[in-house]
Amino acid sequence: MSAVAEMGGARVRSAASLARRDAWLRRLPLLPAFVYVILVTQIPFALTVYYSFFSWNLLKDNSFKFAGLANYSRLLTDESIRTAVLNTVVLTISVIAISVILGLAVASLLNSEVFGKGLMRTLMIAPFLIMPTAGALIWKDTLLNPLFGLLPYVLTPFGLGRVDWINQHPMAAVVTVEVWRWTPFMMLIILAGLQSQNPEVLEAAKVDGANAFQAFRRITLPLVRPFIELGALLGSLFVVQTFDSIFMLTYGGPGEDTTNIPFLLYLVAFQGFNIGQASAIGVVAVILTTIIATVALRTLFSIFQVEARR
């Protein structure tokens, strides 16, 4: 009797341990990637938070001192940080707004009955693929240069011949180059949305007497809206981090006119070696990005669910 019970107990235990073994076997393939990501992103981030409470300049020996919230209070009072936050917001919002509108227009063109769609799309994505540093240099030296650039030459009849775009309108120049780069990105995502549309619905609307604008507003736009949102959110996560084109075009200047948060971080950390202050900027950047990313991820998941329901 007791022997049977013992055997039963052993069987139960081995079933439980098998289940546990199975659960671990399922998790095992995840571990290398998981550990890697934690080691290279999460632990450094924890250190960034830690450093942000210290005053520490790499150029001064023994300068590592606890500073409490001093780095953060300086964030609130420092003029250049406020400028950088403002520049980041202006840059991100204008680039995203303009490239979404242009991207929607180009995507609509490529989704209509035109000749050479494939080639148009291929050429259209080129600005997104060109190395950003290379693209910025080409714009700066061969297109916008007031003496030898093509654009001032073309604009001479309009009285804009000798405008030094980079120095006189630095933010507009950066926005232009970034819009050039991000419009193809928006176009690709919105085009995918347009192509998922059932053309028969539009036909039916036309039969019912809707004009092209009404059909676009009432039928197409609601359908591609999640795609526009996704493009705008993913795009802003990238554009918030704009560094390459600012470095190449304006180096944050003139003055601080085009210094955004990433560029300021670069200046504080690698030109000023002010580790504590740079860390505080990093923490604020993370908070700002997390807000955008949370919304972006929600959109991403809602699209996944729509795809899954199909």
Q: Which of residues 84-143 bind another protein (CB under 8 A)?
A: 105-106, 109-110, 112-116, 120-135, 137-139, 141-143
Residue (62 or 112) nearer to another protein, CB: 112
Token digits of residue 64: 């590592």
CB of residue 248 to another protein, shortest distance in Å: 6
Beta bridge partners of 66: 54
Instruction: Measure the CA–CA gap between 162 and 156, rounded to whole angstroms.
Output: 7
Nearer to another protein, 10 or 126 (CB): 126
Q: State which of residues 25, 76, 79, 159 lies at the interface with another protein (CB under 8 A).
A: 25
CB of 2 to another protein, least distance (A): 36
Task: Spell out the long-range contacts of 47-52 with Cβ–Cβ below 8 A and sequence spacing 24 or more.
Answer: 48/279, 48/282, 48/283, 48/286, 49/279, 49/283, 50/279, 51/275, 51/276, 51/279, 52/276, 52/279, 52/280, 52/282, 52/283
Interface of this chain with another protein, residues 220 to 239, rule: CB under 8 A: 227, 230, 234, 237
Window 283 to 302, contacts with another protein (CB under 8 A) = 283, 285-286, 289-290, 292-293, 296-297, 300
Residue ranges in 182-221 that form contacts with another protein under rule CB under 8 A: 183-185, 188-189, 191-193, 203, 206
Tell me how far, at minimum, the Cβ of 276 lies from another protein, in Å.
Answer: 9
Total residues at interface with another protein (CB under 8 A): 102
Comparison of 10 and 123: residue with beta carbon closer to another protein:
123
The answer to whether 193 touches 223, Cβ cutoff 8 Å, is: yes
Does residue 219 contact residue 201 with C-beta atoms inside 8 Å?
yes
Residue number with CB closer to another protein (5 or 30): 30
Find the part of the chain contacting another protein (CB under 8 A) among 10-18, 74-82, 144-152, 216-224.
144-152
Which lies closer to another protein via its Cβ, residue 249 or residue 256? 249
Is residue 287 within 8 A of residue 178, CB to CB? The reply is: no
Residue 54 interacts with another protein (CB under 8 A): yes or no: no
Which is nearer to another protein, 10 or 43 (by Cβ)? 43
